[in-house]
Amino acid sequence: MVQTQVLSVRDPRWSNEERKTIDCFITTNTLKEEVPFTASPYDSELHGRDVFIVV
């Protein structure tokens, strides 16, 4: 199984007033192009939680 690694995060902003999720654009080692992404500290995937913490 290939583990997803986030290579870059661009344009992060809170996606709700409670500041519980962050909308951004990411590139990863498994995708061919940048994609929109919503990061959460409760994401089931480790890379989702990592993006929230790093941003």
pTM above 0.75, yes or no: yes
How many whole angstroms separate alpha carbon 20 and alpha carbon 15? 8
User: How far apart (Å, rounded) are the C-alpha atoms in residues 55 and 50?
Assistant: 8
Rounded Cα gap, residues 51 and 27, in angstroms: 11
Domain boundaries, the chain: 6-54
Give the pLDDT of residue 1. Answer: 78
Model pLDDT, residue 15: 96
Q: What is the pLDDT of residues 22-54, one digit of tens each?
A: 999 999 999 989 999 999 999 999 999 999 998
Q: What is the Cα–Cα distance from 21 to 38, expressed in whole angstroms?
A: 6
Give the CA count within 13 Å in the CB-facing half-sphere of 4.
16
Residue 26 has a CB neighbour count (10 Å cut-off) of 21
Whether residue 2 has pLDDT greater than 90: no
Model confidence at 18: pLDDT above 90: yes
Predicted confidence at residue 55, as pLDDT, reads 78
